[in-house]
Amino acid sequence: MNFKLFRLAVFAMWGLLATNYVAAQVSSAVKASALPTTEATAGEPRSINDWLMRMHEASRSRAYVGTFVVSSGGAMSSAKIWHVCEGNQQVERVETLTGAPRSIFRHNDQVVTFMPDQKVVRSEKRESLGLFPELLQSTDSRIADFYSVRREGAERVAGVEADVIVLLPKDNMRFGYRVWTEQKKGLVVKLQTLDTDGKVLEQAAFSELQLDAPVKMDKLIQMMGKVEGYRVERPVLVKTTASAEGWILKAPVAGFKPVSCYRRPAAAANAVTGEDPLQWVFSDGLASVSIFVESFDRLRHDKEASLSLGATQTITRQLDAYWLTVMGEVPMTTLRLFASGLEHKK
């Protein structure tokens, strides 16, 4: 009799364990088969591309008004921001509160900067603003190769609940970022640039934020067009390629791909030196480096220096008959690699 009960008990237990096991398998199978979406399922970590895409989309879908504060290298600036989007159109207005008064309007990739103290308006098209989705969806999505993402927790910033994530570089050649993204849609509310030791180099954050504020797009566009009394400048940038200019980077720096190359417009006073400076831009997806090449001028270019302002590091150096200025939000060692790898062939 006892033995029979015992067997019954064993069967029962085995049955329970089996169903439990099966159930666990099924549920995990269900989770694994779910397509990775920008909406996080419970417990599933988002990939770095997911996070970045989410941040990017949030800035295209939410209207807000806020005060933005940037502190870099011991200096602090703030500005009032209005942001509105309708479909594919985005308009932003930035009124600086610190330093010289500036009103900067952006309509998609067209940027208009009003400088009331000089009565000058600068109107230009910024190509870098339209590039992101292509950047991410290209086959060599190199961001994930060089950065990893980790969620650190949650924090309340500017009155909204935000997720704190850290984008850590996988090598010592770039900086890290700590990003606070608003929990509902992913709008970036605070961003810190961290150096290789994890020290904060620069911080940009909203000090106050009013989401879904009633901002009128046509009113902002109207303000953007009010140029009476101002002199309008349209800087002309000549797009070129580095090889056409005779420059190559013989040792490419890991992760950084050349993005664009421009000839900057020559100023009237610069006509003496003759040549327009060249700007060659590299990026690894999150950080960018600009190499400026000008003709060497003994009067002006007297000292090779390495400078740092907040997150932006700069190196100036002479290379034969040229003066190089290498600038970027990367460690100094990376800039030195760029400077030493540059070669002029002609």
Contact set for another protein, span 254-313 (CB under 8 A): 259-260, 262, 264-265, 267, 269-270, 277, 279, 281, 283, 285-290, 292, 300, 305-309, 312
Contact between 318 and another protein per CB under 8 A: no
The tokens of 147 are what? 């950065």
Smallest gap from Cβ 265 to another protein, in A, equals 6
The torsion region of residue 12 among left (phi > 0), alpha (psi -120 to 50) and beta comes to alpha
Residue 56 contacts another protein per CB under 8 A: yes
Q: Can you tell me which of 85, 249, 325, 338 binds another protein, judged by CB under 8 A?
A: 325
**Tokens, residue 268:** 């009237």
- Is residue 323 within 8 Å of 296, Cβ to Cβ? yes
String of contacts with another protein for each residue 188-207, x by CB under 8 A: x--x------------x---
What sign for the dihedral angle of Cα 99, 193, 311, 339? negative
Show the tokens assigned to 295: 């003709």
User: Vertex 80, ends 221 and 135: CA angle to 5°?
Assistant: 70
Q: Is 121 in the site for another protein (CB under 8 A)?
A: no
* Pairing of the two strands 120-125 and 231-233: parallel
Looking at 8, 24, 30, 129, which residue binds another protein (CB under 8 A)? 129
Which stretch in 6-14, 129-137, 150-158, 207-215 sits in contact with another protein by CB under 8 A?
Answer: 129-137
Residue among 310 and 341 whose Cβ is closer to another protein: 310
Closest to 323 measured CA to CA, from 292, 346, 344, 345: 292
For another protein, the closer CB: 34 or 155:
155
**Window 132 to 191, contacts with another protein (CB under 8 A):** 132, 135-136, 143, 177, 179, 187-188, 191
* Piece in contact with another protein (CB under 8 A), picked from 10-18, 33-41, 118-126, 158-166: 118-126
Q: Spell out, one character per residue from 74 to 113, where the chain touches another protein: x when CB under 8 A holds, - when not.
A: xx-xxx-x----------x-x-x-xxx-x-x-x-------
Q: Looking up tokens 């970027």, which residue turns up? A: 328
Report if residue 47 touches another protein, rule: CB under 8 A: no
Closest CA to 68 of 190, 200, 202, 183: 190
When the beta carbons of 44 and 57 are compared against another protein, the nearer one is 57
Rounded Cα distance, 93 and 82, in Å:
5
Return the DSSP state at 199.
Answer: -
| Residue ranges in 83-228 assigned as alpha helix (H) | 132-137, 143-146, 217-224
User: At closest approach, how far in Å is the CB of 30 from another protein?
Assistant: 31
328 binds another protein (CB under 8 A): yes
Distance separating alpha carbons of residues 187 and 175, to the nearest angstrom: 21
Kindly tell me which of 94 and 249 has the beta carbon lying closer to another protein.
94
Q: What SS3 state is found at 187?
A: coil
Write the interaction track for another protein spanning residues 215-254; mark x where CB under 8 A is met and - where it is not: ------------------x-x-x-----------------
Contacts of 333 (CB under 8 A, 6+ apart): 172, 173
Among 38, 47, 59, 207, contact with another protein (rule: CB under 8 A): 59
Among 127, 161, 218, 343, binds another protein (CB under 8 A): 127
The distance of closest approach from Cβ of residue 54 to another protein in the complex, given in angstroms and rounded to an integer, is 9
Shortest spacing between CB 11 and another protein, in angstroms:
57
Q: Which two tokens stand for residue 320?
A: 């034969």
Sole residue written with tokens 């007297």: 302
> By CB under 8 A, how many residues form the interface with another protein?
81
Q: Which of 31, 126, 150, 151 binds another protein (CB under 8 A)?
A: 126
* Per-position DSSP letters for 207-251, written without gaps between them: EEEEET----HHHHHHHHT--TTSEEE----EEE-HHHHTEEESS
